[in-house]
Amino acid sequence: MKARPEQFQSRDRTWQPKALTPAYKSTRLRAPGRPPVLFANTLSETTGPVFGHDMIGPQDNDLICNYASSDGAAIGPRIAVHGRVRDENGRVVPGVLIEIWQANSAGRYRHKNDTYLAPLDANFGGAGRTITDKKGCYTFQTVQPGPYPWPNSENAWRPAHIHFSVFGSGFAQRLITQMYFEGDPLIPLCPIVQSLNDPAAVNQLTARLDMDTAISMDRLAYRFDIVLRGTTSTPFENRLEGN
């Protein structure tokens, strides 16, 4: 019997945030004034450069330890973040390079331009990477990031979040998003989150507490699944027109 081809799901452009969202102040300057023009990928974009699986070190997905001194560890509530990457038809996607970066437990990034008064953690670098396994699964060990103020408006605060970067077969095939935490009261107050048109899209960016995967007397766990394309794909901030 001949296999039936998978159904192609067209993009839902209303699912992604609008380029211009006045409450999110920086979009007033960077939003395009004209409709986007889409170009097909070039041969170099679809074939390379590519990443090597041997580039991943044994502690690259452990942010608690990968920047720490030999006898140290990152400060803050210890958590595991895990999930599965699927395509638009629900098939798992193995071999995907995922990178994350985040603020420390006090809400400060290890970056020269971060001037927030919260302290740096000498044992926390704030970045990690891993590759999805044969079942499309990934796991990171890290600490709960803290919220932080930002100059969008008076007394504006970003909810706790982790940035995700998902690569295809080459570095030019990259999708970027943010993961939030279930129950954070700052989520509905954030204009970046409010730029999403559908509450279901916000829900898809919110990791769920997963007590079945939590480690007793050690760390909580959160599950964050990623959908690469389709009508209900994960909202990606660098693919506002759909991925």
pTM of the entire structure?
0.87
- Choosing from 67, 138, 148, 180, the catalytic residue is 148
Q: Does 229 qualify as catalytic in the annotation?
A: no
Q: Does 158 qualify as catalytic in the annotation?
A: yes
Q: Tens place of pLDDT for every residue, the chain, 243 residues? A: 444 555 556 666 677 777 888 899 988 888 888 877 777 777 666 666 566 666 789 899 999 999 999 999 999 999 999 999 998 889 999 999 999 999 999 999 999 999 999 999 999 999 999 999 999 999 999 999 999 999 999 999 999 999 999 987 666 678 999 999 999 999 999 999 999 989 999 999 999 999 999 999 999 999 999 999 877 788 888 765 445
Q: Does 148 qualify as catalytic in the annotation?
A: yes
- Choosing from 86, 129, 158, 229, the catalytic residue is 158
Write the CA distances from 47 to 54, 168, 170, 174, integer angstroms: 19, 10, 6, 13
Q: Does 239 qualify as catalytic in the annotation?
A: no
CATH code at 59-227: 2.60.130.10
- Choosing from 109, 138, 180, 222, the catalytic residue is 109
Query: Are the beta carbons of 89 and 7 closer than 8 angstroms?
Result: yes
Tokens 């990034």 belong to which residue?
Answer: 109
What residues are paired with 219 via a beta bridge? 215
Q: Does 109 qualify as catalytic in the annotation?
A: yes
Q: Where are the alpha helices (DSSP H) in the chain?
A: 27-30, 43-47, 191-194, 199-204
Nearest one of 126, 127, 98, 95 to 224, comparing CA atoms:
98
Query: Are the beta carbons of 73 and 64 closer than 8 angstroms?
Result: yes
Write the CA distances from 164 to 7, 68, 118, 238, integer angstroms: 27, 22, 23, 12
State how beta strands 220-223 and 226-227 pair.
Answer: unpaired
